[in-house]
Structure 1
Amino acid sequence: MTKLSVNINKFATLRNARGGNLPDILQVAKDCERFGADGITVHPRPDERHIRFQDVRDLKPLVTTEFNIEGYPSKEFMDLVLAVKPHQCTLVPDPPGAITSNTGWDTVQYQSFLKDVISTLKKAGIRVSVFLNPDISKVEGAKSAGADRIELYTGPYAEEYTKARTQPQNFRLFNDYKNTAKEASAIGLELNAGHDLNLDNLRFFKLHIPQLKEVSIGHALVADAIYFGLENTIQLYKRLLVD
């Protein structure tokens, strides 16, 4: 079964909007695991507008499943990751002011930079995943840079999936995802996916990309939890990931 890692950033956004410690991010992480999550994902950004760097440090001894820290490998980010030593670090090419991740790495242009970063992380015993667009030409670059996995950026998939209901003939973009996944698997890279996956589009993606090891879902899952409750929502997502 594909693993579900719950991104808890949006819980931190809610906490920060009011100040104080409600909701308690540490308790949220423990509850997500108790309700069936296979991992916890955080994305600390330079302005700490949701997950704070101290949250990451505090979460490390509490997470009993898989801890995934994602972000742009600035010096501050790298110092944090190397101190915390999560199970996985997902590298994303976000500029400092980005609202959310919206593209993958150009692994050709940034090959040397990624090699240095990935080498440092792997020496610390951290599995490395590289955020990638559905572009087969960038897969080999991730492998040669030393990555263990790629995470497919599924924002474009989610957008086109919605349009395909009325214009199914235009859903050609999905071939790019399938081809990228096949190429990754063929050269020994494992596959993650994330961004805008939800209860509506997740099952189709899972069924057609059998190589999928893990999905990271935050915004949609938190929004669904408002209506369905957190425990029920996590179970609803996990049912969509069964082989």
Structure 2
Amino acid sequence: MMRRGGSGLRLGVNIDHVATLRNARGGHHPDPLDAAKQAITAGADGITAHLREDRRHITDADMERLSDLCRDRNVPLNMELAATEEMVAIAERLKPHAACIVPERRAERTTEGGLDVAGQHNRLVPMIARLADAGCRVSLFIEAQDIQIDATQRTRAEVVEFHTGAYAHALDENDQDKADVILAQLQTGGQLADAAGLEVHYGHGLTFENVVPIARIPQARELNIGHFIIGEAVFLGLTPAIRRMISIIRDARLA
């Protein structure tokens, strides 16, 4: 099911860092499943979770429970995964609505850039085919570069998710000129991907303060936001944080 708010732009809420908090102390609380339930009730259009190879936050058991929850609630589950045999096999078994292949390095704190689809094309194509054959809507997390969009088009992936981390970091560093250049690349990337028949998503580092220019990109169909929303939930509560993000996105889109 592809739910969509009145703005025509979906919000996927990534609940990874609820699991990060749980794992820091051990035990069962806070439970990412409870976060997913609350996010759905608050109006999120989908739930995103990244099962990392080192299981630093989301676990296999979490993915099992999230799969059951999203299936029962008829809400899309977007499973982020590395391009490895282990992760592809798990996705084939769980059959999430969407499978987003992301680059992954053990030493990184978070995803640091886009997937090199052009450089790894021959290795990725059979994995993408397996995920598509399992019924997953395959997404590739890439930089907004012509070469990566072209390489994605030559796979069975249906979606590109453009990495917005560099844009967010430039604004964090008060470098508006750099942010404007990156934003222009993200806008052009959206046009090229849409023209190539790919659905366009954006994600990484998006906040209340920087999301508006991204939400206004006409080709954008979904934003995936996690760390910021979970962080704001400490101060606002999870439901108000999600509803505020939905409101900002809606107003930006309709302006």
Q: TM-score interval w.r.t. the shorter chain?
A: over 0.9
Rounded Cα–Cα distance in structure 1 between residues aligned with 2:186 and 2:178 = 16
Superposed counterparts of 1:42-191, under 5 Å: 42-63=49-70, 64=73, 65-163=75-173, 167-168=176-177, 171-191=180-200
Task: Check if 1:194 corresponds to 2:208.
Answer: no
More off after superposition, 129-138 vs 6-15: 129-138
Q: Work out whether residues 72 and 95 of structure 1, in 8 Å CA contact, stay in contact via their aligned partners in 2.
A: no
- What's the offset of the Cα at 1:77? 0.8
Task: Tell me the CA shift for residue 224 of structure 1.
Answer: 0.8
The match for 2:27 is 20
| 2:247 matches 1:239 | yes
Contact 2:170/2:178 (8 A) holds in 1: no
SS of match in other structure, 1:171: helix
Is the aligned partner of 1:203 residue 2:219?
Answer: no
More off after superposition, 34-43 vs 98-107: 98-107
Residue aligning to 2:43: 36
Q: Which amino acid aligns with 1:22?
A: H
Identify unmatched segments of 5+ residues in structure 1: none
Q: Contact 2:83–2:124 (CA<8 Å) still a contact in 1?
A: no
1:3 and 2:13 correspond: no
Query: How many Å separate the matches in 2 of 1:215 and 1:203?
Result: 11
Give the superposition deviation at 1:163: 4.6
Structure 1 vs Structure 2 CA RMSD: 1.5
Secondary structure at the residue paired with 2:13?
A: strand
Question: Which sections of structure 2, spanning at least 5 residues, go unmatched?
Answer: 1-7
* Contact 2:153–2:198, Cα closer than 8 Å, also in 1: yes
Q: 2 CA distance for matches of 1:237 and 1:170? A: 21
CA distance in 1: counterparts of 2:240 and 2:58, whole angstroms: 24
TM-score, reference length from structure 2:
0.90
Q: Percent identity?
A: 33
Q: Deviations over 1:26-74 (max 9, x none)?
A: 2211111011111111101122111001110111111121100002021
Q: Deviations over 1:203-222 (max 9, x none)?
A: 12111x11111111111111
- Distance in 1, matches of 2:197 and 2:243, equals 30
Corresponding residue pairs, total: 241
- The amino acid across from 1:105 in the alignment is L
